[in-house]
Structure 1
Amino acid sequence: MRRGRERLHYLNPAPIHEIEQRWISGFDRPRLQAISAIKSQAEEYAMTETTSVPTYVYVTYIHASAEQVWHALTDADLTARYWGHANVSDWQPGSTWEHRRVDGSEHVDASGRVVEAEPPTRLVITFEDSDEERPNGPSVVTFLVEPHEGIVRLTVTHENLPNHEMFNGIANGWPAVLANLKSLLETGDVLPHAPWDMPRTNV
């Protein structure tokens, strides 16, 4: 269409839209669907990470035999020395266990059941530190005792924790208990001061 010396052109978008719908979108749609799926999974993972409580794992190496470590984990007199509590049970699968104070009160601060017992390498127990009913059940502690080049690698895994408060508590508690256990087995005596009574310093 002319207007004076100018020639005006008009673009009809309908055919271009039809081409996009008929040809291009067929190739583009899977890519967009994949991107959308990745976005949804990333958002779901981020939400899970912020709300769930992680599993706590602690590994230590002890100059002792697997039998000695197992005995230290299951003997009430020894646990009383390095833990300040006597862990009382016959350590048979299905049996109960109790974490009793040794201050004369015999108050039970934690208890549970023996899930697995494979001396001297594997012990799995439930760990309940309150009477509160938890929808996911009690937390679970696994002791894995592995001979490692003449020494023992002890791995403690504490999972199914109900909240971050308990996670923070055991994150401070387990290293202290296991440091005392290691000292007892390697030197014949516990540390000069109970690690859990020492003031924590921020580095």
Structure 2
Amino acid sequence: MTDRPAFTYVTYIESAPESVWRALTDADLTAEYWGHSNVSDWEPGSAWEHRRTDGSHAADVVGTVVESVPPRRLVTTWAEPGVQTAAGPSRVTFGIEPYGEIVRLTVTHESLADEAERDAAARGWAAVLSNLKTFLETGRPLPEKPWLVP
């Protein structure tokens, strides 16, 4: 057990678990609503990268796939490329639970460095997951990038 901060976000999406899984793991789909492509083979132990879609393909986040149970659960580590901390990377768990014609998506980002990183994660996940929900329910992302809203 760690005393490092964590953040949990729960949203409900009119979608199927398989569609939510695909939206989280397909590089082309993540580019549509996240502004980055999540790139991996999504096998436990494999590397993954959160690559920019601006043409540079630079990775802003890197990690390892800890657990992959399509279409229900994905666990990854998260770290800034080239930066190692004594406490190690943070960890993100995506839980995908079906309820009739909707899905409950629970995202938990744990082992964050401090409260400032927790606050940044809270703002970032709220924006990205709102855009994901809109994308899956309407076929298009929000008309404005929510992470740019002041």
Report if the CA contact (8 A) 2:5-2:113 is conserved: no
For residues 104 and 43 of structure 2, the distance between their equivalents in structure 1, rounded to whole angstroms, comes to 23
Residue ranges of structure 1 left out of the alignment (5+ in a row): 1-51
Q: State the distance in 2 between where 1:96 and 1:53 align.
A: 24
Q: How do 1:32-181 and structure 2 match up within 5 A?
A: 52-181=3-132
CA distance, structure 2, for counterparts of residue 179 and residue 84 of structure 1 = 13
Larger fraction in strand: 2
The structure that is helix-richer by fraction is 1
CA contact (8 A) 2:5 2:114 kept: no
162-171 vs 99-108, which moves further: 162-171
Following superposition, the deviation at residue 130 of structure 1 comes to 4.6
| Higher RCO (C-alpha under 8 Å, 6+ residues apart) | 2
Deviation per residue, 1:137-174 (Å, 9 max, x gap): 11000000000232100000000111222111111000
Q: Is the 8 A contact 1:139 1:159 kept in 2?
A: yes
Paired residue total? 149
Once residues 110 and 129 of structure 1 are traced to their aligned partners in structure 2, the CA distance between those partners, rounded to angstroms, is 5
Aligned Cα RMSD in Å?
A: 1.3
| Correspondence for 1:182 | 133
- C-alpha separation between the residues in 1 aligned to 2:121 and 2:110? 11
1:134–1:162: 8 Å Cα contact kept in structure 2?
no
Alpha-carbon distance in structure 2 between the residues aligned to 1:132 and 1:71 = 29
TM-score normalised by length of structure 2: 0.95
Query: Which amino acid counterpart does residue 101 of structure 2 have in structure 1?
Result: G
Report the residue type matching 1:125 in the other structure. Answer: T
Q: TM-score under structure 1 normalisation? A: 0.71
Please identify the structure whose Cα radius of gyration is greater. 1
Structure 2 gaps of 5+ residues are none
Checking the alignment, whether the CA contact within 8 Å between 1:56 and 1:171 is kept in structure 2 is yes
Aligned 8 A contact 1:79 1:86 in 2: yes
